[in-house]
Amino acid sequence: MTLHSASTDASSQRRPLRWPQPLEGSAERIWYGGDYNPEQWPETVWDEDIELMKQAGVNLVSVGIFSWAKIQPTATTWDFDWLDRIVNKLGMADIAVDLASATASPPPWLTKMHPEVLWRDERGDICWPGARQHWRATSPVFKDYALALCRKMAEHFRDNPYIVSWHVSNEYGCHNRFDYSDDAMRAFQNWCKLRYGDIQAVNEAWGTSFWSQQMTDFSEIVPPRFIGEGNFMNPGKLLDFKRFSSDALKEFFMAERDVLASITPNLPLTTNFMVSSTGYPLNYDDWGSQVDFVSNDHYFLPGEAHLDELAYSASLVDGIARKRPWFLMEHSTGAVNWRTVNYAKEKGQLIRDSLAHLAFGSNAICYFQWRQSRAGAEKFHTSMLPHAGTDTQIFRDVCELGRDLNVLSTTGLNHTTLSMSAVAVVVDYESEWATEHTATPTQRVRHWSEPLDWFRALLDNGVTADMVPIAADWDSYQAVVLPSVYLLDERNTQRVHDYVEAGGKIFVTYFTGISDVNDRVWLGGYPGSISEVVGVSSEEFVPLGSDFDGTLEYLDLSNGTVAHDLADRITRVADTTRVLTTYQAPEWTGMNQVPAITVHEFGLGIAAYVGCRLGRKGLAQSMPELLDAMGLQFSDAKQSEMPHAWNEGERTLRVERVNAQTGERFIFVFNRTHDAVTIPVEGTCLIMSRAVCKDEASEGLGTADYVLQANGVIVSKV
């Protein structure tokens, strides 16, 4: 098996955008629908489903995702009749089909005949059938069967006019991200050969002189299998295994994609990512270069962070798509089924959540799933058509959303993209993987939480930032945040230097620039690779916690905020560095009057350094002084000068989509609170959900005041 390393693919040209086109005779609209599993229901239900879909405004469904056992009942028999009937019924009702390759879950007959396709955990135990994704990406046997299915599917449906796209497999790596089998071992060895060339380069990268781990041949490389409770895996090896695992699944996707594309070159292909603030199983930015259009599955985070986390995730998908249209393949109408407590959505959130994804660049709103299942592990996962039927608030909201999407389609939203913010917050999948290691200064600090805290703190100060992958063009923004970007390779280190030197404004936090691409620490004090740019250097980490009596649990800052979990002991400060905030601590801590937040001019630009974990609230409180010191006055900027990076303080979320040719703007305003909020809205109001105009006589005339209730949203066009 030949694997392409992520380091090579990350620099390759991205595939041109190919978007699913409407059925013949139909107008282009925002795609609306969800997963449809007709095989779970008697055919007498199908006609009812289609009538209700039309009532709801559904114009696309994904079919066949988990249908392998139905399509191929045995190794030598195929049954497409039922699938033909439902695809044709849908198409004749003007409902397009996003057809799955059906390879996500192998049927029982396959794993019975070939148990060697089942993945193994780090202890060597087999993942037996009984759920889904019980296959290993590196199995040549499984690949043969999966590609045969892809070939049969493509050949059978190549001329069907109702299929508009291929849905390749489903949520790669959701359950089979890591495999420690011998197949995986051989593939990992080949991956290392491709990446490093010779075994001594692997030894250097992994630092194998530590603990006598030097290897003399690639055959000595094994996956990071179980090494005993409490032991520590080589960090470089573990990081590379995570890279390899992402690449192995990507290679499998590409094989499926290429078989389908060779037979149906007219159909665009995608697979559904799982991008969220905590979703780092695969390097989705690297994967984004291999799909014809980016798709994502997102499920809400319960509680007060619900809207903000959704906005963060949607913005990151937009960054992965490079501000091209993307497809929301799955989200939920209400509760999911996999949490310990599966909270329902609040009143208004079904519509608001969908419009929020739309605001951040999605041109498709789809759910899991159309009709709620009666049996199986997901029977309590909510759907567009719930167990209680059509006389439900969920179904009424689904129909209302369908009408809203039709309005936005007919007024031209499809031809707009998310406007560029002035501020980029950088996300790095590999930094998260590296900080997951169990031998770090504190297990309470990882990469993923800091970008979300910065996104929310900026929102609290009126700025809607763009979430941008580290490989994207973040250095084209007016200001950039590097939030605990633990790994900075030589290229990105140079980008930081060049960006600030040329006049850029950068915010750098603790735990940034600590190690190189192989998780080898940059020497000279933290952040070793960019200390010259930020104008400070720390000689050690100061973890904060209450695990033992008498340990330092937190640190007070002179600006009234409080540091938790981790702080830097900054001991070197450049003469040109300005200290904004220091720690106020007992002398015995060694942290009293130590710099906590600094700014430093470098070349034509300026760099701020935040040397501790402040959390969303501490960052939000520190932000006004920090922005002022950086010369960034977003709160005073006109909306026309700051497209979409402008809000009514911390109460609302404001997002703009813009037509680059005509200049037309669609403005989305969301209430971030549970209290009613009165805000001015410009242009013609198109959509109001849980919102009213205070003066109906002024509605649609220039700017009018609107009241947004909890979970309220307004969409206007200017």
Quote the tokens at residue 644: 């979409």
Q: Return the HEC string of 550-584.
A: CCCCEEEECCCCEEEEEEEEEEEECCCEEEEEEEE
Q: Cis before residue 584, ω within 30 degrees of 0? A: no
Closest CA to 711 of 267, 397, 275: 397
Phi-psi region of 303 (alpha: psi -120 to 50; beta: other; left: phi over 0): left
Closest CA to 658 of 322, 415, 312, 324: 415
DSSP code, position 346: P
CB-based contact 252:139 (threshold 8 Å):
no
Closest CA to 216 of 232, 203, 235, 229: 203
Quote the tokens at residue 260: 């389908």
3-class state of residue 701 by DSSP: coil
Quote the tokens at residue 705: 């005041």
DSSP code, position 74: B
Please tell me the distance from the alpha carbon of residue 473 to that of residue 404, in angstroms, as a whole number. 34
Please tell me the distance from the alpha carbon of residue 46 to that of residue 69, in angstroms, as a whole number. 20
CB-based contact 457:623 (threshold 8 Å):
yes
Pairing of strands 652-658, 665-671: antiparallel
Please tell me the distance from the alpha carbon of residue 560 to that of residue 577, in angstroms, as a whole number. 21
Q: At what angle do helices 235-263 and 140-157 cross, to 10 degrees?
A: 30
Is 203 known to sit in a ligand binding site? no
Please tell me the distance from the alpha carbon of residue 403 to that of residue 58, in angstroms, as a whole number. 10
39 is catalytic: no
648 is catalytic: no
Is 190 known to sit in a ligand binding site? no
Quote the tokens at residue 174: 């959701």
* Integer angstrom CA distances of residue 220 from 199, 202, 214, 287: 10, 11, 9, 29
Please tell me the distance from the alpha carbon of residue 462 to that of residue 338, in angstroms, as a whole number. 35
HSE toward the beta carbon, residue 74, CA cutoff 13 A: 2
Closest CA to 315 of 418, 245, 183: 418
Quote the tokens at residue 259: 């078989």
DSSP code, position 698: G
CB-based contact 534:510 (threshold 8 Å):
no
Please tell me the distance from the alpha carbon of residue 165 to that of residue 158, in angstroms, as a whole number. 11
Is 647 known to sit in a ligand binding site? no
Please tell me the distance from the alpha carbon of residue 324 to that of residue 340, in angstroms, as a whole number. 36
* Catalytic residue (choose from 256, 330, 432, 656): 330
* Integer angstrom CA distances of residue 364 from 229, 294, 318, 525: 46, 11, 13, 47
Residue 159 CB-density burial (10 A; 0-12 exposed, 13-18 middle, 19+ buried): exposed
End-to-end Cα, the chain, rounded Å: 54
Pairing of strands 417-418, 595-602: unpaired
* Catalytic residue (choose from 171, 251, 309, 430): 171
Residue 302 CB-density burial (10 A; 0-12 exposed, 13-18 middle, 19+ buried): middle
Please tell me the distance from the alpha carbon of residue 181 to that of residue 539, in angstroms, as a whole number. 42
Active site residues: 171, 330
Q: Give the annotated binding-site residues.
A: 132, 170, 338
Q: Give the annotated binding-site residues for substrate.
A: 132, 170, 338
